């Protein structure tokens, strides 16, 4: 499932790195996409893609998935079809 928000390809299974310098080495995996509200649900994972224990999922506005000081950048993950 591919979605385009603000010129960015977003797919379930992608892993994104949080660029906020206050939270070093934080990775998130897209687990759900809400096209109507233009947001994605992300689960915190380790850099290798394995889930972090005891951490729930959160909704993030799709427009935040861009490379800036408080945004995110894609680092990998498989795109689910």
Q: What is the DSSP string of the chain?
A: -EEEETTEEEETT-EEEE--TTSTT-EEEEEEEETTTTEEEEEEE-TTSPBPTT--EEEEEGGG-SSSTTSEEEEE-PPP-
For residue 66, name the pLDDT band (cuts at 50, 70, 90).
confident
Domains of the chain as residue ranges with CATH: 2-70 (2.30.30)
Q: How far apart are the first and last CA of the chain?
A: 5
pLDDT of amino acid 5: 67
**Higher per-residue pLDDT: 6 or 24:** 24
pLDDT of amino acid 1: 47
What digits encode the pLDDT tens for the residues 27-53?
Answer: 999 999 998 998 999 999 988 888 888
What digits encode the pLDDT tens for the residues 52-64?
Answer: 888 889 999 888 8
Largest CA distance in the chain: 34
Residue 41 has which token pair? 């649900």
Give this prediction's pTM. Answer: 0.81
């Amino acid at each position: 499932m591919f979605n385009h928000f603000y010129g960015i390809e977003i797919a379930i299974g992608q892993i994104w790195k949080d660029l906020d310098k206050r939270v070093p080495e934080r990775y998130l995996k897209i687990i759900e996409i809400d096209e109507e509200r233009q947001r994605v649900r992300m689960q915190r994972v380790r850099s290798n893609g394995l889930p972090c224990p005891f951490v729930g999922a959160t909704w993030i506005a799709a427009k935040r998935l861009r490379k800036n000081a408080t945004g995110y950048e894609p680092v990998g993950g498989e795109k689910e079809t």
